[in-house]
Amino acid sequence: MEFDFKHLGFTLLGLLIVLNWGLLMSALMQKIGARVARRIGIRLYQPWIDLIKNYAIRSQISHGIMFYLGPVFRFSGGVGIFLFMPLIVGSVMWSNYSFQGDLVLIMYFQFFGMLGMALGAGESGHPNSAIGISRGLAQFTAIEAPLTLAIISLAIQYNTLSIVDIVEAQQGGIQNWSAWTNPFATIAGMLAALGSMGHSPFNLVKAPNEIPIGPPTEYHGTFLGVLRTNAAILHVMEAALFMNLFFGGANNWFEFILKTFLIYFWSVFVGVVFPRFRIEQSVAWFFKIPLIAGVVAIILFM
């Protein structure tokens, strides 16, 4: 079987586009948050400067192999989601390497990055690392419950676990989007998205102004650069996942950028308005309305 270098080229180009859009979107969201607080905010090109600076610095501290494999696992999770996520509807070159059942694999990749960071933090030796691990895994498990129910509901509705098939079934107008045909799954999924994006009130792992540690300070130099690169890719891909599942996917790059921006802005808007939860509040929240909506979505399509 001959290797398709042309497809690989389009995949790498798509990764470059997604990375740069993620960096720009991060700057835009920080700018919006600053304006709400009546501040000027960062320069729009600041994420690129920070990334170059991080990759130019070499770490002289050794915490063990697993500590430094944490960012690698996290980055592998983000890139793995990208590789199997279709970007543009009906385009072979922009469908990446999606296949039947790719939705299940993407769910695994979401947890893979989180688990890798937990293993890395566990070897850091910092007494508060266990707090971040317990918070992160507890909250992510709570997030997965309504999100999984929403996905099961969509799988029952469309009789497939292929993202391409789910997107193609939503073509023909807004009335065919899952947001209209399966509103309870959309409610469960979009409320779970608030936790997946990691903004307030669900930013418990870093806990700004509460625990002055975490990946931005424990990891530095190139390792922090890898984490920031992954964050730019992951935020776009998570928004693209919800776009494909509930909002009809994208027929071109302009639609892709617009929809992912609006979906990501949804989490930023909530983060600006609401203060951070405590861990017990966060976990309990996902087991209320989001979980109930997911259960109702499955019952309606059984």
- Counts for the chain of helices (H) and strands (E), in that order: 13, 0
The CA distance from 243 to 132, in Å, is: 30
The Cα-based distances of 111 to 17, 30, 152 in angstroms read: 24, 26, 17
- Among left, alpha and beta (phi > 0; psi -120 to 50; other), residue 214 is left
Cβ atoms within 10 Å of 68's Cβ, excluding its own: 18
Which pLDDT score is estimated for 207? Answer: 64
Which pLDDT score is estimated for 93? Answer: 86
Q: How far apart are the first and last CA of the chain?
A: 42
Residue recorded with tokens 């899952």: 178
Burial of residue 107 (CB within 10 Å: 0-12, 13-18, 19+) is middle
Q: Answer yes or no: pTM beyond 0.85.
A: yes
Which pLDDT score is estimated for 269? Answer: 87
Full pLDDT tens readout for the chain, 302 residues = 455 778 888 899 999 999 999 999 999 988 888 888 888 888 999 999 999 998 988 777 767 788 888 888 889 999 999 999 999 988 888 988 988 888 999 988 888 888 877 887 777 777 777 777 788 888 888 999 999 999 999 999 999 999 999 999 999 889 999 999 999 999 999 999 998 888 888 887 766 655 555 566 677 788 888 888 998 999 999 999 999 999 999 999 999 999 999 999 998 888 888 888 888 888 999 999 999 999 999 999 87
The CA distance from 204 to 190, in Å, is: 19
DSSP H stretches of helix in 95-221: 102-122, 129-158, 163-169, 178-181, 183-197, 215-218
